Structures are given as structure tokens and as C-alpha cells.
Structure 1
Amino acid sequence: MGGIAASLWCLAAGPAAAEVTVTLPASTTPALGEIVAGTMPTVFRIGVDGSVTRISGDAVRLSNAPVTPPTMRLTCGLLNLASLCLVRNIRITMAPQVSGTIASVTMFRVGAVTGTSFSGGPPADASTLNFQLNPMGLGNVVTIQFGMDITVAAGQRGVATTRYTVNADFV
């Protein structure tokens, strides 16, 4: 049987003037490692702690080691209307990008947040996440851990690259 080397590719929107800057993990986070292709689509759940669990399908991940959990960092500049950081909520949108991949993110989940708190409570797990954070303050760094479900297509061989975008802006 062939194998699939699974990795992650993520995109962040570039900051506009007076916007929040999003820093995402390296392009190999989370790296599932070598996967023996299955006969049906297989879903691997990446926990916010880096744990990996196969929740459906028959593909086999050759490593049982945890992965580096995806973590995003948000920062707000000291110039160009930085006072917005003190008073405005921040809207976060996370969405999968599926074109040209043999694996895709099918569910996001948000874990711990440091540097601020959720506005209206934490979001429920969803295929596309939209949620708000309370103002982050001037010079603060906000860190958000998140997990995801990754679906690997049946019978695929090669590098499984998963893509997603994260956008952050003031509301």
C-alpha cells in the first residue's frame, strides 16, 4: 500500500492599516506523518492538545505520537489607530480551503485563549468558525489554541496538504 505524508498549509490575510496581525503555525503544523491509504475517506481529529484520534474510516497513521497543536497569535500595533485595540472587539473567521488537496479540514474547534476572552462565549465546533473576542488591549498578544478534523480522501497517495485561512478584524 502507498503512503501519504500529511502536512498543513495555512494562510493568513495580510494586515490592513489599524488591523490585527495574525500569525499562524508553520506550514507543517499539524503534521500527521505517514498515513497508509484507506479504502474509504478517513477523519483524523487533532485535539487542541495535539492528540490525534482516527474517528472514522480505515486509513492508518503510522505514528502514534501527538502533533504540535495549531496555535494562532494576534497582535495589535502601537501606531495607526492602535487605540482600537483598547475598545473594539475582534472578529475571527476560520475557513477551510479545499482546492487541489487530497485532505481537507472539515471541522474546527477552539481551545484555550490567553490575552483576552471570548465575547459571548466560546464558539461551537463548526466547519467554518466566526467568533468574537473582547478588546485585547494595547501591546497585548492574544494566543488561541485550536484543533480540527482532517479528512483524508480514500485511496490517495502522496503529500496530503490541508489548507485553511484565518482572518481577524475589528468590529
Structure 2
Amino acid sequence: MKNRISRVVTRSGDQGTTGLADGSRVSKDNLRIDAIGQVDELNSVIGLLVSEGLSDKMRQELQAVQNELFNIGGELAVVKTSLMTEDKVLVLEKLVEEYNDELPPLRDFILPGGTKTAALCHLARSVCRRAERAIVALGKQENISPVLYQYLNRLSDLFFVYARVANQLANQSDIFWKK
């Protein structure tokens, strides 16, 4: 494989612009760049989560998600490119159902927390929701595949369920909201 990044310091962004994959330059506060940045931040939070006490199965699932988030970033960086497919959304739906079936039903809202791993799952969930909102905002100005919205929506559901699973595996109960 040829080198993709030969120089890290390029100075090309020193004036507040950045390059898209097609070579065009846009302002760093452009909605497309914001969405790419939100997805990148989510991927970083997942990297932190993967370094915490997850099962090998969950770790592998999240590493697959990290690769898909790179595809989303690529789709956002190359206008009119489609990399995310509906089958990836279905994979997440299946995981949510699989894990949720092993959990006790919820009768009230839960607060983020319990174990450190569960808290990190909730952090990933909220960062995922923010990335989703950034892509929705971009979609109001440009043509964005609805599959991106669906994928991030299911992914945030998966993080919610992962948080509950993490607490259950540590024999820690969920923290319920007290009205």
C-alpha cells in the first residue's frame, strides 16, 4: 500500500480552511467539516471505550463500528459518494436486539453511570447523538444519504444497551432517575 500521509504538518489549514477529498477547500466551520469532526470525535471516544473492560465480542463489534465510522467520514469527505449501506444498519439492529433480550425490562429512565465502562458507553451514546445532529444539519443544506442518520441512530441505541450490559456484567445495577 502506498503512503497516504507523507507529511503531518502541511500548513495548508493555517488560514482557517481545510481540504476535502476532491481537492476543494472549505472553511473549517463548514457544516460538512463539523459533521466529519463529530464522527471523528465519536471514533476517538469508541477507542477509549474499547480500551476499557469490554468482552472480546463487544470489542470486536466496536472495532468494526470504528471502520464503518471511517466510511461515514469518507462519504462526508467525498461529495456524492456512497459507502454506507443499509445492511450495516441491520447489523446494529440485530446486536441491539441480541443484547437487550438478555437484560431486565426498563420501567423508568436510567442515569448515565454505574461502572466506568457503562459511563463510557453513555458518553459514546451522547457523542453519537451529537454526530447524528451534525449530519442532519448538513442534510438540510446538502444531499446526505438517510442511511447515515439510521446508522448513527442505531449505534446510539447500541451504546445504551452496551451500558446496561456493562453494568450487568459487573453486578452493578443501573442507576434509576428519581423523579
TM-score with structure 2 setting the length = 0.27
Larger RCO (CA under 8 A, 6+ residues apart): 1
Higher Cα radius of gyration: 2
Question: TM-score w.r.t. structure 1 length?
Answer: 0.28
Which structure is higher in helix share? 2
